[in-house]
Structure 1
Amino acid sequence: MQMLRSILFNVVMYVWMAVIGVLYAPYALISREGARAGCDTYARHALWLLDKIVGLRTEVRGTPPTGEALVAAKHQSFLDIFIIWTAMPRGFFIMKALLRFAPFLGQYALRLGCIPVHRGKRAEAIKRMLAEVKSGERAGGQLLIYPQGTRVAPGVSKPYKVGTYALYEQLGQSCVPVATNVGVFWPKRGLLRKRGLAVVEFLEPIPPGLDRATFMATLEERIETASNALMVEAGFPMPHVEPPLGAAKPQDG
């Protein structure tokens, strides 16, 4: 039965994406705020449908940033994008360049000012974005990056990339780490969506000005520790893994 509910939700979700994409297209063409309104409407209704059809509720913990900030989030599935988007007033993303060609999703993302990045050309995209902010061509907001570069399934270890530090250093802004357990209920692959409570948690901001080693160790330790705790809370049997980089290790004796 849960699989049937999941399939129904997936069908409705993509049909709703097409409906909203068409309805808001004229508004989005004349105004970036139109594109944002369309995305807000879609994401909030998708989360409502997820609760009503599948029985998967969502919750935001902590304090989402409202001013200009760099947001570095754990990425486990499409669901964490929905939740983070609805939690922040002016979010925009660094996204894979290939997503530009996704129907509706890609066009709206570009209209919002999301930054498509080709593999190996992240620095070039960041430099262009910073120039646009300085010249006034791009409004400020909450820039979201996934420091592991891709979706990572619960219990899987994947290194954090230094591109997040490059942004942190060049923007000179605080960085807000974000933890999640959404992958326990909405996996990286597959159709099944489980019942339960999917959580996204905004953690204590990392102040600007840290060196690379300190920043990367702090970012990874905060995100991984909080995400692991959320996954355990959701009933996921965490395997034994090495402590995140920078975490305190027990002393011998």
Structure 2
Amino acid sequence: MAYAFQWIRSLIFIVTIYAGMLVLGIVFAPFALFTREAAFMACKSFCVWTRWNARWMIGLRTEVRGPVPEGEVIVAAKHQSFLDILLIFQTVPRAKFIMKKELMWTPIIGLYAKRVGCIPVDRGRKGAAIAKMVKDVAKEFTDPGQLVIYPQGTRVAPGAKLPYKAGTAVLYEALAEPCYPAATNVGLFWPRKGILRKPGLAVVEFLDPMPPGMARAAFMAELESRIETRSDMLMKEAGFDPERLR
């Protein structure tokens, strides 16, 4: 009975937030087309709207911890669900995400992704995609902001193992900027797939920045260790044993 009730609450929540996305997207569209600030305002408003509804509709509280990245930096984040995108975007001043190019053609999302400076990547082209990504990022960095990349390249379920890809290291070397790792446990409450959203405390935590200039292998090894270790700790804090999920 409790499961069914939470599932119904989750369904209503999902309908509510996507209806809010549609309304905000349409209302802000005329302004976002002419000014990037309006696009950021619309997206941050949606993040606030979603977090507020999550708290009272499904019992899901959200929290962001650690030093907030500012200026021209890289954020290399664990990606478990749509929720970690919202928490990061609301918190950092001017986030722009590395995202798969198909999303750029999605109604509402695509328009605002372009306006805030997100970088589309063709994941099927591998080496060519990385080269183009570096070129596009360098062009976009003329407008200061925080470049958010997911080192594993996609959403990863809690406890699942997926390799960290070289694209993050390539950007780190090319841009010569500090890199903030970010850990999370949000997938425990807001999964990649399905309707059910669970109550609890979903956390994204920014870790201390890694300075520019590290060797590629050392950078990737430390990045993965720090993100995975802290994400496991956040899951344990929420009452889940990540080893049992693997």
Alignment of 1:139 with 2:143, yes or no, is yes
Matches within 5 A, 1:199-238: 199-238=203-242
Percent identity (aligned): 54
**Relative to 1, partners in 2 of residues 1:132 and 1:182: Cα closer, same or farther, differing over 3 Å?**
closer
- 3-state SS of paired residue (2:86): helix
The one-letter code of the counterpart of 2:165 is K
1:107-148 CA distance string (max 9 Å, x none):
100111100111221321221321453xxxx30110000000
Matches within 5 A, 1:72-83: 72-83=76-87
- 3-state SS of paired residue (1:239): helix
How much has 1:64 moved relative to structure 2?
1.1
CA contact (8 A) 2:80 2:191 kept: yes
- 3-state SS of paired residue (2:187): helix
How much has 1:241 moved relative to structure 2?
9.5
- Between the aligned partners of 1:172 and 1:214, the Cα distance in structure 2 is 15
Runs of 4+ in 1 over 2 A off after TM superposition: none
- Between the aligned partners of 1:236 and 1:132, the Cα distance in structure 2 is 39
Gaps of 5+ in 2: none
**Relative to 1, partners in 2 of residues 1:240 and 1:51: Cα closer, same or farther, differing over 3 Å?**
closer
Match of 2:62 among 40, 58, 82: 58
After TM superposition, the score normalised by the length of structure 1 is: 0.91
Equivalent residue for 1:250? none
- Between the aligned partners of 1:132 and 1:146, the Cα distance in structure 2 is 18
Match of 1:128 among 126, 131, 136: 136
- Between the aligned partners of 2:11 and 2:164, the Cα distance in structure 1 is 33
Which structure's residues are more often helix, by fraction? 2
What is the Cα-based RMSD across aligned positions, in Å?
1.3
Report the more deviating stretch, 22-31 or 120-129: 120-129
**Relative to 1, partners in 2 of residues 1:227 and 1:139: Cα closer, same or farther, differing over 3 Å?**
same
The one-letter code of the counterpart of 2:50 is A
- Between the aligned partners of 1:101 and 1:189, the Cα distance in structure 2 is 21
- Between the aligned partners of 2:73 and 2:6, the Cα distance in structure 1 is 39
- Between the aligned partners of 1:24 and 1:64, the Cα distance in structure 2 is 27
- Between the aligned partners of 2:245 and 2:116, the Cα distance in structure 1 is 38
- Between the aligned partners of 2:160 and 2:137, the Cα distance in structure 1 is 32
Alignment length (residue pairs): 238
Gaps of 5+ in 1: 243-253
- Between the aligned partners of 1:86 and 1:241, the Cα distance in structure 2 is 29
**Relative to 1, partners in 2 of residues 1:241 and 1:191: Cα closer, same or farther, differing over 3 Å?**
closer
- Between the aligned partners of 1:201 and 1:212, the Cα distance in structure 2 is 24
Match of 2:8 among 1, 4, 10: 4
After TM superposition, the score normalised by the length of structure 2 is: 0.94
- Between the aligned partners of 2:69 and 2:140, the Cα distance in structure 1 is 21
